[in-house]
Structure 1
Amino acid sequence: MSNALFIAVVTGGASGIGLATASALLARGNWHIYILDRNPPSSNAFTPDANATYIQADVTEFASLASAFQKIFDSHSRLDFVFANAGIALHPDNLTPTAESSKDEYPATPDLTLLDVNLKGVIYTSHLARHYFHLSPAGSERNLIITASMAGFYASPSVPVYTASKHAAVGWTRSIAPSYWKQDRIRVNAICPSLVATGIMPKEMYASFPEGVLTPIESVVKAVLLLLDGKTEQVDEGKVVAGQTVEVNGSDFYFRKQIEFCNPLAAAVMGSAEVKA
């Protein structure tokens, strides 16, 4: 068992934002990071003596994910941080009519793999995080951070299923944050990055965007660590940093608030759905 003080799980941690965040935590020197991914990180991703362990897992398969979490908890009897980061951006969805479309046949079944990874995977990861946070000793950190996207706030007509999945991730974060905090002292937040050059899309696709629009991966990692540490000027001093959805664009952070209720009736309806402590 590692002598590290804090235990973290990073889904989709073999590359991109997940790997960069894992590396930043390792640099702090008091973390053991578990990388959960379908594929392992490259052989040179970490130094041989790094407190990093890879476990193969598929976030769309609950048994696969649960087995990984159980293995980690069996080793350390605690969990401090879960980064629900696994996601994909491009996958055929079969939602556009083709030349082969016929009035005599049903359209092709929509392929909702994007929802499986980006939404179901987030829900599975959150559910397992809460379970093992609940079992962790009093005083453990209990932080859940979800990777959504700026597409969780804005329409993106070219990728409607991806956009739906990220809108859902934002809604999920805002909906579970109050009860997770009130009942188990778990802080739930989401990062919502702009376009970041990772392996989520082919390199040539990034060249099609206007020059200068990419957000540095370092900015996203900085936002994750800011939420993890629970210290930010955008949240009033003394208040818990939870339920935040942080848009990361360029080097700037924007703490996005929910839209205001249209009238008192709407506020009353939604208020009645709140979870009591």
Structure 2
Amino acid sequence: MTRETTWQNKVAIITGGSSGIGEATALALAERGTKVLVTGRDEAKLANVASADKAIVTLKADSSDPASAARIVDTALDRWGRLDLIVNNSGAGQPLPVMAYDADLISKMSAVNIVAPSLLVKEGHSALRTTKGAIVNIGTAVSRNAVPMVAHYAATKAALEHLTRSWAIEFAGDGIRVNAVAPGPVKSGALTGMMGLPDEMAQQIEAQEEAQVPLGRRGVPADIVPWILRLGSSENEWLTGQVLTVDGGWSLRT
């Protein structure tokens, strides 16, 4: 099978795919002939993604809702009858100094970053076993070092990376490969979106992070997408349980 036909007529689910890395991945897969189901909470953003390519279908779904996993998988299977790839891209994070710790906020991060991927993998397992498909989890290079203020975001993403390795062993007998990409500072709107920071504060943090990247710039979604596709590709039959950090060397300095 050539690279040109690797993704033809395959089916992928991408959570949190209405912007940033998720959107870029959906577009890249659709361009290669894959049918893509993208989930998210913002209907306007979802509509924008769907309008870019007829191979992309969207579903409004909140990953923090445990019932969403079955609905997402059922939507893909009802429409296309198969599933080849799950990209667990949804993420939740919020800066929290210790004295601002809040049980609901911590639970929300855990629900999106740990529980949601776990339930989606559970619901999609049978279909992935049939196609010998793959799972690509999106972690974060932030978890490579101590991270005051965003400790719970980093901790829950580190848990997802551990699940990546555990699932790789558990699903190996089914022919399902599980890997992860851990992006560094990427221009994806996450600071003002997922993290909820004011524009001015987000710009300050972006400038600080850019100065820390040895390769001299912040990343863009296009820096991450090729690795998601490579890890999810059926061409990589013997690669599983890996967490690939893609961050311009940022985690080596911070």
TM above 0.5, yes or no, is yes
Q: Which amino acid aligns with 1:191?
A: V
Q: Which residue is 1:56 aligned to?
A: 60
More displaced stretch, 36-45 vs 185-194: 36-45
CA deviation after TM superposition for structure 1 residue 44, in Å: 4.0
Tell me, yes or no, if structure 1 residue 162 matches structure 2 residue 153.
Answer: yes
TM-score after normalising by structure 2: 0.80
CA deviation after TM superposition for structure 1 residue 62, in Å: 2.1
- Among 79, 87, 105, which residue is 1:111 paired with? 105
1:73–1:194 Cα change, 3 Å: same
- Kindly report the root-mean-square deviation, in angstroms, between the aligned alpha carbons of the 2 structures: 2.6
Q: Which amino acid aligns with 2:207?
A: A
CA deviation after TM superposition for structure 1 residue 66, in Å: 0.9
Structure number having the greater helix percentage: 2
Q: Which amino acid aligns with 2:25?
A: T
Secondary structure in 2 matching 1:207: helix
1:185–1:215 Cα change, 3 Å: same
Tell me, yes or no, if structure 1 residue 193 matches structure 2 residue 183.
Answer: yes
Contact 1:81/1:142, CA 8 A, preserved across alignment: yes
Contact 1:59/1:125, CA 8 A, preserved across alignment: no
Q: Which residue is 2:16 aligned to?
A: 12
Deviation string, structure 1 residues 80-113 (Cα, Å, up to 9, x no partner): 111011002325x5x6337xxxxxxxx9646312
Q: Which residue is 1:37 aligned to?
A: 40
Q: Which amino acid aligns with 1:244?
A: Q
Whole-Å Cα distance in 2 between the matches of residues 52 and 249 of structure 1?
28
Deviation string, structure 1 residues 165-215 (Cα, Å, up to 9, x no partner): 111011110111011111x21110000111111121125242343433412
More displaced stretch, 216-225 vs 120-129: 120-129
Whole-Å Cα distance in 1 between the matches of residues 12 and 48 of structure 2?
20
Q: Which amino acid aligns with 2:209?
A: F
Structure exhibiting the larger radius of gyration computed from Cα positions:
1
More displaced stretch, 61-70 vs 19-28: 61-70
**Unaligned segments of structure 2, at least 5 residues:** 1-7, 193-201
**Unaligned segments of structure 1, at least 5 residues:** 99-106, 233-238, 255-277
Contact 1:196/1:217, CA 8 A, preserved across alignment: yes
CA deviation after TM superposition for structure 1 residue 231, in Å: 5.4
Q: Which residue is 1:97 aligned to?
A: 99
- Among 246, 249, 252, which residue is 1:248 paired with? 246
CA deviation after TM superposition for structure 1 residue 155, in Å: 2.2
Q: Which residue is 1:173 aligned to?
A: 164
1:10–1:171 Cα change, 3 Å: same
Q: Which amino acid aligns with 2:105?
A: D
Tell me: higher relative CO, structure 1 or 2? Use CA pairs within 8 A at least 6 residues apart: 2
Q: Which residue is 1:68 aligned to?
A: 72
CA deviation after TM superposition for structure 1 residue 142, in Å: 0.7
TM-score after normalising by structure 1: 0.74
Secondary structure in 2 matching 1:145: strand
Whole-Å Cα distance in 1 between the matches of residues 126 and 65 of structure 2?
17
How many residue pairs match? The answer is: 228
Whole-Å Cα distance in 1 between the matches of residues 51 and 36 of structure 2?
13
